[in-house]
A and B are shown apart, each in its own frame.
Chain A
Amino acid sequence: NAGVTQTPKFRILKIGQSMTLQCAQDMNHNYMYWYRQDPGMGLKLIYYSVGAGITDKGEVPNGYNVSRSTTEDFPLRLELAAPSQTSVYFCASSYSRQGNEQFFGPGTRLTVL
C-alpha cells in the first residue's frame, strides 16, 4: 500500500492564482482531512470528509474548497491565493472516528508571493 499520497511536493504561486492540491489514499478509509501547518502553530484543520459526497468545514476553511467524489481522493482547491496561505499542507485519513488514528501524507509546501 502507498498509504496517503500528495502532489505536488512544492509549489510557488503568485497572488491571485488558483491551484488544486491532490490527495489520495489506498487504505479504503472513510475519513479524510486537510490540515495546514504554520511554524510554531501546530496543525490547523481546514476541511474534512466522513465519506464520499460529504464534506465539512474545520477551524480555518476560508479561502479553500474541497470535494470528495470518491473514497480514495480528496483534493483541496485554493482560489485567489494570498500570502497568508503560505504554509505546509498535510492530507490525512483514518478508518473511523473511534480512536481516530490518522495517517498523514508527506505534505505540500506552498509559497504565495
Chain B
Amino acid sequence: TQLLEQSPQFLSIQEGENLTVYCNSSSVFSSLQWYRQEPGEGPVLLVTVVTGGEVKKLKRLTFQFGDARKDSSLHITAAQPGDTGLYLCAGLQTGANNLFFGTGTRLTVIP
C-alpha cells in the first residue's frame, strides 16, 4: 500500500493550459513537500508547507496544504515546456525521521 497517492499519474497538456496535481493520504502529516525531478537527475525541492490550509505561491505554481493536513495540491497556471518533469509530493509524519514519497505525476507540456 502507498501512503501518499498522487493523481493523475500522467498528464500531457498544451503550452498555456492550466493544470492541477493532487496528493492524497488517509494519514496526517506535520509537513508536506513538493519536488520536481527531471530525467537523469535527482528530485529538487520546490516548496514545503507546514500549516493546515496554507497556500504558497512560486511564480506560476500554487501549492495548498489541506485543512486536515492529509492532502495537498499543486496548481500550475499557463504551463510552459520548462515545467515538464516528474512531480513528487513527500510527507513527514510527526516524530518520524524520514519522508514518505508519493507515486509521482509525470507532466509533459507540449509547445
Contact = CB atoms under 8 A, between A and B. Distances in A.
B98 A48 contact: yes
Interface residues of A, number: 25
B26 interface: no
B27 interface: no
Contact of B42 (A42, A99, A107): A107
Contacts of B11: none
A50 B97 contact: yes
B98 A33 contact: yes
Interface of A: 4, 31, 33, 35, 40-45, 48, 50, 56, 58, 90, 92, 97, 99-102, 104-107
Given A31-B97, A40-B9, A45-B98, A107 B40 contact: yes
Nearest to A45: B98
In this complex, the member of A41, A42, A50, A107 whose beta carbon has the largest number of chain B beta carbons within 10 angstroms is: A42
B73 interface: no
Given A42-B103, A101-B33, 12 more contacts: A40-B104, A42-B6, A48-B97, A48-B98, A50-B97, A58-B98, A90-B43, A97-B92, A99-B31, A99-B50, A101-B48, A104-B42
Contact of A40 (B44, B50, B103): B103
A105 B41 CA distance: 8
16 contacts: A31-B97, A40-B9, A42-B4, A45-B98, A48-B97, A48-B98, A50-B97, A56-B97, A58-B98, A92-B42, A97-B92, A99-B31, A100-B31, A101-B45, A102-B99, A106-B42
7 closest Cβ pairs, A-B complex: A104-B42, A43-B101, A42-B101, A42-B103, A42-B104, A101-B45, A90-B42
Given A31-B97, A58-B98, A43 B88 contact: yes
Contact of A106 (B2, B9, B41): B41
